[in-house]
Amino acid sequence: MDTNYLLQREQISLMMARKAGCSSSRLAHAGLAQAYGKLLAAGTFPHRNFNLAPANDLDPSESPDRGRADA
C-alpha cells in the first residue's frame, strides 16, 4: 500500500479514537491506528508508535493532546 495512504488512515483513526463518544468506539479506532502503525513500521518508513491512553481513561474534556506520540 501507499505510505501516504497508511499515514492518513492512521492519523484519522487516532483522531477518531480521541473524539469517540464511547469506549467501544475508542477501542476500535485505536486498534485501527495501531494496525496501520504496524504496517508502516514493517516497511521502510521510519515510524513512531503512538501511546493512546486506555479507552476507559479518556475524558473528552481533557486536553486534545492526550495520546500524542512521545517525542
69 assigned to some structural domain: no
* HSE of 35, CA atoms in CB hemisphere, 13 A: 9
Question: What is the model's pLDDT at position 70?
Answer: 45
11 assigned to some structural domain: yes
Burial grade of 42 (CB within 10 A; 0-12, 13-18, 19 or more): exposed
Question: What is the model's pLDDT at position 8?
Answer: 94
Residue type, 1: M
How many domains does the chain divide into?
A: 1
14 assigned to some structural domain: yes
Domain that holds residue 39: 3-46
Question: What is the model's pLDDT at position 63?
Answer: 47
57 assigned to some structural domain: no
Written as tens digits, the pLDDT of the chain (71 aa) is: 688 999 999 999 999 999 999 999 999 999 999 999 889 888 877 766 666 655 555 555 554 444 545 43
* Nearest residue to 10 via CA among 32, 28, 25, 27: 32
52 assigned to some structural domain: no
Is 44:31 a contact under the CB 8 Å cutoff?
A: no
